[in-house]
Structure 1
Amino acid sequence: MKWVATREEMPEVGRRVLCAMYADTEYGFPVCGVFDGEYWIVDDVQQLIDQKRVHYWAPIARIPKED
């Protein structure tokens, strides 16, 4: 899995990704979320997260299909 810095590239709007979120902490913690073009909407957080609090994101691997 490759982490992408949000200062270099943002995921496409509406795509669910893994985020490294900083909530007034020294270290990021992983959450799943969606970028709506202005804010992040992440699991288990009851408010919109501004862009400066998510420093990295990574695509979520698709589940393989069985033949």
Structure 2
Amino acid sequence: MNSVDRVKVVSELYELLNEYACKRDLPVDESTANFFEKVKRCCDLLDLDYDECKKEFGLKESHEFLGK
């Protein structure tokens, strides 16, 4: 992936993180239904560790809130 494409993916990941911060306490809607899949895709494209990224940014899926 060239540097321009990487910047686009970083921008997408940044937007997703902002969206999470704004909507994390709201019910899941159409725009947030695939949030974690999109984050994983960005991490894969940028060669980032998905679990470490979730940990670093405090991203928790619903089952993690419920303690399952």
TM range (shorter): under 0.3
Using the size of structure 1 for normalisation, the TM-score is 0.24
Which structure dedicates a bigger proportion of its chain to helix? Answer: 2
Using the size of structure 2 for normalisation, the TM-score is 0.24
Which structure dedicates a bigger proportion of its chain to strand? Answer: 1
